[in-house]
Structure 1
Amino acid sequence: MTQLEVGGAQVRVFQTASELRSRGHAAEVVFLYQKRAVFNDEPKTILAGSKRPSKLGILAAIWKLRRMISAGGYDVIITNTAPANLIGNLVAFSAGLKNRVAVQTQPPSRISSSLSLADHIFGTVGVYDKIVANSGYTYHCFDRYSKAYRSRLKLIYNGLNPRLSSASKELCRKNLELPRDDFLFVNVGRLSVQKNQAELLQAMVDVPAVLAIAGAGELEQQLRQMAQDLGVADRVKFLGELTGDQIGELFKAADAFAFSSRWETFGLALLEAAAAGLPLVVSDLDVSREVLGAEMENSALFVSLDTPGAFSRAMSMVLNSSDLRDEMARAGRQRAEVFSIQNHVTELEKLVSA
């Protein structure tokens, strides 16, 4: 992967490596650089240190990766995110590693035109040996790519072992310094334009509840100021980045999950919240409907970002109906079982052995 930070993709990669090891494979996790000091107990290699590298640092990291692959006796490389796909597969190709898998977790429209062009070329000429789309939505983002590219493309759904806590809700709230008795919505994600937490802050004006947001990012100060300006700062808790155990506690502490992203290619946080039995109020995205099984009754409340007040109305519906919450919890747990890390790794094994 490109950078080490707290994110759904990073969690998936570490869990995938762990599951591979449990099946008798050797698996190493490699990052270009470390954005934040997280996952300290997980075995990993950082190629270029603890900050975004300079151009010279990137070249040094690429050379280090080349030496690792040449000397390591590896059978397969699996890369994640657009820059890592390009760097990792080109290095592996040049080193003669034949089984190279690029995992697409971003639609072409969400990366730079230069990266998108290079990705198209690599998949067409065979620098990528195999290409994985993490959802049906992502798969169809490449419908206009070359026939050669699409011949290498396969749908393998993301998988995840949910981080669930066995502690009581009361203890989890105490540990995270959250109100004991208030109805609690939670959101997990980078504080960014994509994750769109501003939508939730606006909704909180009309929702008599508490919102806890786990994550860090470039918009933190802007969002804190927005909460102040809207008069909801006393009911919005910015928790920063949490450890895996703390995320499990947060889901246990919560009464519902609110997800306001502008775009996703899967939404691992959705899957984890569903597995925890949390009612879901989510942006009406095609991929969210796909992952959550919109055909299932009460799998989630899907909210249009183009409709003013829609999030606050949906959150209020969840707040005011225990029957609805119970129905959504059952549907969510049932749906989450489809996307286990075991199923994900089984499909990867089939792909690389084909």
Structure 2
Amino acid sequence: MSGQRILFVQTQAENAGAQEVSRLLGEHLTNRGHTVRHLFFYKKSEDFSAPPDTIIVRQTRPSMWRFFSFLGELYNAIRDFKPDCVFCFQHFGNVIGAPIARLAGCPVIVANQVTAPSLINPVVALLDKGLGMAGIYDRVTVNSNFLLDTYGRYPHRYVSRLDLIPQGFETKDWAMDKASAREELGLPNGVPLLGVSARLNPAKQIDKVLAILARQPEWHFAIAGQGPDFTRLQIEAAKLEITNRVHFLGEFAPSQIGEFLACLDVFTFPSAAESFGLAAIEAAQAGVPVVANDLPVLQEVLQANGKPCALFVDVMDPEAFASAIATVLNNPKVAQTLRDRSGDLKERYSLKAMVDAYEALATGKDPAADKHQVMAVS
């Protein structure tokens, strides 16, 4: 098969989950002989680790007054590359990128859904449904059964385009012991250290960890990430008088997140809503015990061979949340059981299987013999 010209279209350039997926896909599809470009509408983070051959249409978010000129620039960028296939990521990447790519003459357009419709602006969700039903999207990928069931309630003309492709990931193991990793990042040794890596926004509910930290004077908390909730979290830590035990480390490049994970005793994941929870899966596979919010989608993805790879708890109950964390910290047998189970996540979420499926989509083929399902098998 001759190489395809493949374009990944996303809303914002930052080091986050969707960007990590497209980076991995782009890298591996390039290694298979395809010509890959990444296009972002605008730059969100100055620390963004741009993949090779990246196009950023605007350096800042387009204003309403300049939106139509932005669309023109987007059209020109897509047309000039002449892609055989466009993969759109995130809901604005879908509803803006797909129609512009169709106008630019792209023959194969694949949307990617990572958010339940109930969590998307209703107008955007309605537009997305219409684009799928009208055939602007050739295929629509989802990464969990939770989202497959959710979008499976749409009309048949949309549902017939759905493909479940479990999200593959790159292992984040780090060749450094815990004490050395903490010293490298300026984190204290000899203390219980909780951590999270996430885009800092209210939906991640990182303040739930701050609240229990105020009741546990020995615990420290390291936060890897940036986002609009940063200032509020700093203010909340100051109110709780725990600023000396909360460590804001900023954004990490994907290649460096393993060093952060190597520092931790427990990875906390209190998010109110997720479509997959890549950060928690990466932490678990790296050997860090995970305590996660009791969401159906997290129970689905954080299990291997039918057994949970994390402790699940209602994070709205601070006593229960603190108790689950304490169990991991104080019971080595529980922590080791979670580590042992999590070793199988790499097989369940095979990077090769994900790349195979997207490569099939890029050529306009159904990625699996069983429609709507791609099994992640090494």
Which category describes the TM-score, using the shorter chain as reference length?
over 0.9
Match of 2:212 among 194, 199, 203: 203
**What is the aligned partner in structure 2 of residue 80 from structure 1?**
89
Offset at residue 294 of structure 1 (A): 7.2
1:20–1:27 contact (8 Å) kept in structure 2: yes
**What is the aligned partner in structure 2 of residue 292 from structure 1?**
302
1:185–1:258 contact (8 Å) kept in structure 2: yes
Residues 1:173 and 2:182 are matched in the alignment: yes
Distance 1:254 1:308 in 2: 21
**What is the aligned partner in structure 2 of residue 248 from structure 1?**
258
- Residues 117-132 of structure 1 correspond to what in structure 2 (within 5 A)? 117-132=126-141
Match of 1:323 among 323, 328, 333: 333
Match of 1:346 among 327, 331, 356: 356
Distance 1:219 1:96 in 2: 39
- Per-residue Cα deviation, 1:250-287 (whole angstroms, up to 9, x for no partner): 11111221100000001110111012011110001111
Offset at residue 205 of structure 1 (A): 2.7
Structure 1, unpaired ranges of 5+: none
Offset at residue 40 of structure 1 (A): 4.0
Distance 1:244 1:292 in 2: 20
With normalisation by structure 1, the TM-score equals: 0.94
Residues 1:113 and 2:115 are matched in the alignment: no
Query: Is the alpha carbon distance of 1:137 and 1:269 closer, same or farther for their aligned partners in structure 2, counting shifts above 3 Å?
Result: same
Residues 1:314 and 2:328 are matched in the alignment: no
Distance 1:117 1:41 in 2: 32
- Per-residue Cα deviation, 1:10-68 (whole angstroms, up to 9, x for no partner): 11111110011111111111100001123445224344332111235433332233223
**What is the aligned partner in structure 1 of residue 231 from structure 2?**
221
- Range 60-69 or range 74-83, more displaced: 60-69
1:215–1:241 contact (8 Å) kept in structure 2: yes
- Per-residue Cα deviation, 1:193-251 (whole angstroms, up to 9, x for no partner): 11000111112133332110111122222212222222322222111222334321111
> What secondary structure is seen at the aligned counterpart in 2 of 1:100?
strand
> What secondary structure is seen at the aligned counterpart in 2 of 1:131?
strand
**What is the aligned partner in structure 2 of residue 276 from structure 1?**
286
**What is the aligned partner in structure 2 of residue 234 from structure 1?**
244
With normalisation by structure 2, the TM-score equals: 0.89
Residues 1:91 and 2:126 are matched in the alignment: no
**What is the aligned partner in structure 1 of residue 347 from structure 2?**
337
Q: Which amino acid aligns with 1:148?
A: R
When the two structures are aligned, how many residues end up with a matched partner? Answer: 354
2:208–2:316 contact (8 Å) kept in structure 1: no
> What secondary structure is seen at the aligned counterpart in 2 of 1:141?
helix
Q: Which amino acid aligns with 2:225?
A: G
What is the identity percentage for the equivalent residue pairs of Structure 1 and Structure 2?
A: 34
Structure 2, unpaired ranges of 5+: 1-9, 366-378
